[in-house]
Chain A
Amino acid sequence: NAGVTQTPKFQVLKTGQSMTLQCAQDMNHEYMSWYRQDPGMGLRLIHYSVGAGITDQGEVPNGYNVSRSTTEDFPLRLLSAAPSQTSVYFCASSYGRHYQYGYTFGSGTRLTVV
């Protein structure tokens, strides 16, 4: 069981570059989400999806795009990286309403924008 797999684990970008953070789960979970964690800020929701073809914005969506073409994959795209996007990014998935089962989180992608 791979669970939730995030790639890459580390990335350094220059300001203005674009990139895609990959997230894949093999548990046939309906719900998937992207969070970012900044020092002293807890986790903040960027975008989420309740199924293939359905996405919605979270608390801090600006500068990020998502799509959900399959149940398994939920990539997060940074359109034009900025230093303010330096953070640790977590992808999470859940079979149903998260409060019944809890979200399963990936191990994170540490992104530095210089």
Chain B
Amino acid sequence: DQQVKQNSPSLSVQEGRISILNCDYTNSMFDYFLWYKKYPAEGPTFLISISSIKDKNEDGRFTVFLNKSAKHLSLHIVPSQPGDSAVYFCAASARGGGSEKLVFGKGTKLTVNP
């Protein structure tokens, strides 16, 4: 059973507009969430993270929102740029033993059109 779900395999937006990537999770023990960006033929790159004690974390054009009651988080990119075109992975970690382990979603391919 998939614990971290990214239900949209792909998303296409216009340059300058907002990109919203969504992620749902099922494990209530998850206490930290991360977003990674991946370009073809490269390894994933850490983008931004959020602790379960917060509901928002912002870093430049990237903001992650966490809704614990809905077990849902989202990544907002404003404004979107063509260089943001990549696959975005949501990942989560559970508190306690094994917290070093990350559970990844399947990814959402973002395309930003000029």
Task: Report the interface size class on chain B.
Answer: 20 to 34
A53 interfacial contact with B, CB 8 Å: no
- Enumerate B66-114 residues with CB–CB distance to A below 8 Å: 89, 91, 93, 98-107
CB <8 Å contact, B106 and A48: no
| A78-114 Cβ-contact flags toward B at 8 Å (1 or 0) | 0000000000001010000111111111111000000
B99 to chain A, nearest CB (A): 7
**Is the Cβ of B34 less than 8 Å from the Cβ of A99?**
yes
- Residue pair A102, B100 in contact (C-beta under 8 Å): no
Contact of A40 among B43, B103, B104, B106 (CB under 8 A): B106
Q: Which chain B residues lie closer than 8 Å to A43 at the CB level?
A: 44, 89, 91, 102, 104
A4 contacts the other chain (CB 8 A): yes
How distant is B66 from chain A, measured CB to nearest CB, in Å? 13
Q: Which residue of A lies closest to B93 (CB)?
A: A99
Partner of A42, one of B43, B45, B47, B107: B107
Closest to A107 in B: B43
Residues in B neighbouring A33, C-beta threshold 8 A:
100-102
Residue of A nearest to B107 (CB): A42
A40 to B93, CA, bound (A): 21
CB-CB contacts below 8 Å: A38-85 with B: 40-45, 48, 50, 56, 58-59
> Among the listed A97, A98, A108, which residue makes an inter-chain contact with B43, where contact means beta carbons less than 8 Å apart?
A108
Residues of B within 8 A of A59 (CB): 101, 103
Q: Which residues of A contact B32 (CB under 8 A)?
A: 99
Residues of B within 8 A of A (CB): 4, 6, 32, 34, 36, 41-47, 49, 51, 89, 91, 93, 98-107
Can you offer 5 A-B residue contacts whose CB atoms are under 8 A? A4-B43, A40-B106, A98-B102, A105-B44, A107-B42
